[in-house]
Amino acid sequence: MTDRNDDLFSAARAVIPGGVNSPVRAYGSVGGTPRFLASATGATVTDAAGREYVDLVASWGPALLGHAHPEVVAAVQEAATRGLSFGAPTEGEVELAALIADRVRFGEIRPIERVRLVSTGTEATMTAIRLARGATGRDLLVKFAGHYHGHSDGLLAEAGSGVATLALPGSAGVPAPIAAQTLVIGYNDPEALAAVFAEHGQRIAAVIVEASAANMGVVPPLPGFNRLIAETAHAHGALMILDEVLTGFRVHPAGFWGLQASEGEDYLPDIVTFGKVVGGGMPLAALGGRAEVMDLLAPLGPVYQAGTLSGNPLSVAAGLATLRLATPEVYATIDAASARLSAALDAALTSAGVTHAVARAGNLFSASFRASVPRNYAEAQAQESFRYAPFFHTLREQGVALPPSVFEAWFLTAAHGDEELGLIEAALPAAAEAAAAA
């Protein structure tokens, strides 16, 4: 039986490559028709056929407070009445930059003195890398297999997210000399890190790392690994770029860095990138770091970066409203929901006899169909991923929307209350049975 989603998907494929404007939205690995969303509020999304789902995608992270939080929507509406885009500095940008710098601190440690606002996570990481190259006068970049940092040329080698879902080694269209500037090593592998610096140390500008890997499913950093990256990079005159686009302001008021620092693992990243939550659902991302590094950006310094829509007033209004509402209580609510749901997921898969491991990084979590939590991309790939499609579709039929790939994190919001969590818990056993039968 077809419905409005099928009709729209047919129409979409005639005018949009693959019918989607970002590959992860296609049901590439689970099969079937993507749901075209008509609206979203709180923890619920509604598709084009009028069907409601408890949402565990949260727009891939931004909806920390739940979809269309009334105060965030009001802030955007109010900003809209004053003009949609100026291409000139605004008061709101100053407030948002100061708020970001102020939140990302642990005691006296403040990695962020300056912030530049951009529009997407891709721009934030791309700029961070150019800045690191400009600051060091070196070209090489170290990244970890299975980490995703957006779709700029140098970052697609063995990337996570949609590149992992589609099982691509990288992307066509990236010139070989550019790909050769990126050295890909295994995650959570201190020896590989030491080896790459032993061989290329004098030529490495930066190491870029997801604060916790979450684009190959959740793969938390082993204790001490992020600190080791910082120490190793600094010992060789290279920078550490900490990518908090996904984790920033989602797992802790000060990001995954803040969570780790509060647990005793403190280290000093040189450039930190943000996206998703920082824009509250509007196109906004940011990079921040010490003044001496950040002030190398134009107009002060020689590293060029620009954007017509950078610091867009509607995006800034959404980001400011979201961060101001993202109190410690919000994080406590999401942490509790995450603990409850990840336990229910574990229990349902155990009852159904499905080999699995639930990985957690702060309030982010995901299940993999293997006996232990993966530590790197090779282990994340070595799982019975064919079990995910029936698991996903059985949940969807019961009104629960998961990310359409096993290589993604599950996202909760502060709007997931007892009712929504109960609905998901009730739906999990049948999905686990479907996974077992696959």
143 is catalytic: no
Site string for ligand PMP, 313-352 (x = CB under 6 A): ----------------------------------------
139 is catalytic: no
Least Å distance between CB 137 and ligand PMP?
A: 25
Considering only the stretches 48-56, 79-87, 146-154, 319-327, report the one whose residues sit in contact with ligand PMP under the rule CB under 6 A: 146-154
Query: Does position 383 bind ligand PMP by CB under 6 A?
Result: no
DSSP structural state of residue 104: S
- Residue 421 phi/psi, 5-degree rounding, is -65, -40
HEC-encoded secondary structure of 212-279: CECCCCCECCCCCHHHHHHHHHHHCCCEEEEEECCCCCCCCCCHHHHHHHHCCCCCCCCEEEECHHHH
Nearer to ligand PMP among residue 238 and residue 245 (C-beta): 245
Among candidates 66, 46, 48, which has minimal Cα distance to 58? Answer: 66
E strand residue ranges, 62-156: 114-118, 140-144
331 is catalytic: no
Please confirm whether the linkage preceding 299 is cis (ω < 30° from 0): yes
Among 5, 29, 44, 120, binds ligand PMP (CB under 6 A): 120
User: Count residues contacting ligand PMP (CB under 6 A)?
Assistant: 16
Helices (H) and strands (E) in the chain, counts: 15, 13
Query: Does position 210 bind ligand PMP by CB under 6 A?
Result: yes
Dihedral sign, CA of 228, 229, 233, 234? Answer: negative
Among 44, 136, 161, 315, binds ligand PMP (CB under 6 A): 161
DSSP structural state of residue 283: S
Site string for ligand PMP, 227-266 (x = CB under 6 A): ----------------x-xx--------------------
Q: How far apart are CA 292 and CA 297, in angstroms?
A: 10
Nearer to ligand PMP among residue 363 and residue 394 (C-beta): 363
Would you state the structure tokens that stand for residue 229, as one six-digit string?
Answer: 């990256």
Among 125, 212, 342, 394, binds ligand PMP (CB under 6 A): 125
Q: Binding to ligand PMP (CB under 6 A): which residues in 272-311?
A: 275, 285
- Residue 352 phi/psi, 5-degree rounding, is -80, -5
Nearer to ligand PMP among residue 125 and residue 394 (C-beta): 125
Interface with ligand PMP (CB under 6 A): 60, 120-122, 125, 148-150, 161, 210, 215, 243, 245-246, 275, 285
Hey, which residues are catalytic here?
148, 243, 276
